[in-house]
Amino acid sequence: MTGASSGIGASTAVRLATAGAHVVAAARRTDRLTSLVERITHTGGRGLAVTADLTQEDQAGTAVARAVDEFGRLDIVVANAGIMLLGPLEGADSAEWRRMIELNTLGVMYTAHAAIPHLLTAASQGPRQVADLVLVSSTAGRQVRNGSGAYNASKHAVTAFGEALRMELTRRHLRTAIVEPGAVDTELPTHNRPEIQERMRARYATMRRLHADDVADTIAFIVTRPDHVAVNEVLVRPTDQQE
């Protein structure tokens, strides 16, 4: 589980641990990951905190290797770590583009690249006879909004990558799913510049956003289907979200 130190990733880690999975929680904030694993352990589950900056290919590889070393197999990977920096494209700070592409796109690709051999082993030799790679994209990976262009680009790439992986690997029982949440109440908007955050607050004022647990439920549904069922794409928006 990448991006497990907050929001959707933390909720999904707990949800999957409750369902019996041994969970490896990866992100940069070690203290958050450690408390999460303590929470999982306290309720009878098993977990491991792995500090990793997933924009760094070697750290993505190490996170995957530590999961396999600790638990012996890799059945499910949820590539969720992401950042959303909004604003017009004209005159944008291209460092923000780089941060999003390096994490939302390349981070997901590095994680998948390192995990695929282990997922294929689990699919052919593990008790489930199937493995799951869940890529957390966004409604922004499917629908472009004015003022969201670079984030849109980083997430559209995830959709293309996920669909290509699906075609390549589904016959070997590696299921690929793209999850596309609408607005979820998490830390995600807080990394934006103040004026952008103000705009987002105004947008969210008329909307009951999803909770991170709502997306965790969706991911848990995907990875608990019988082995002949592949849920490949789920778009889940708040009822109040028009666009």
Catalytic center residues: 151
Select 151 or 231, whichever has its Cβ closest to ligand NDP: 151
Question: Minimum CB separation from ligand NDP for residue 158, in Å?
Answer: 8
Select 226 or 243, whichever has its Cβ closest to ligand NDP: 243
Out of 18, 22, 28, 217, point to the residue binding ligand NDP (CB under 6 A): 28
Question: Minimum CB separation from ligand NDP for residue 128, in Å?
Answer: 25
Q: How many CB atoms lie within 10 A of CB 169?
A: 19
Out of 16, 27, 85, 131, point to the residue binding ligand NDP (CB under 6 A): 27
Q: Which stretch binds ligand NDP (CB under 6 A): 75-83, 161-169, 195-203, 227-235?
A: 75-83
Question: Minimum CB separation from ligand NDP for residue 31, in Å?
Answer: 9
Contact 231, 225 (CB under 8 A): yes
Question: Minimum CB separation from ligand NDP for residue 84, in Å?
Answer: 5
Say whether residue 113 binds ligand NDP (CB under 6 A). no
Contact 52, 74 (CB under 8 A): no
Say whether residue 112 binds ligand NDP (CB under 6 A). no
Please give the Cα distance from 170 to 234 (Å, whole number): 17
CA distances from 182 to 5, 84, 119, 145, 179 (A): 20, 13, 28, 12, 10
Say whether residue 188 binds ligand NDP (CB under 6 A). yes
Say whether residue 181 binds ligand NDP (CB under 6 A). yes
Out of 45, 47, 82, 149, point to the residue binding ligand NDP (CB under 6 A): 82
Q: Is the dihedral of CA 115, 53, 14, 86 positive or negative?
A: negative
Say whether residue 106 binds ligand NDP (CB under 6 A). no
Question: Minimum CB separation from ligand NDP for residue 189, in Å?
Answer: 7
Say whether residue 128 binds ligand NDP (CB under 6 A). no
The pair phi, psi for residue 203, each rounded to 5°, is: -65, -45
Binding region for ligand NDP (CB under 6 A): 3-9, 27-29, 32, 52-55, 80-84, 103, 136, 138, 181, 183-184, 186-188, 212
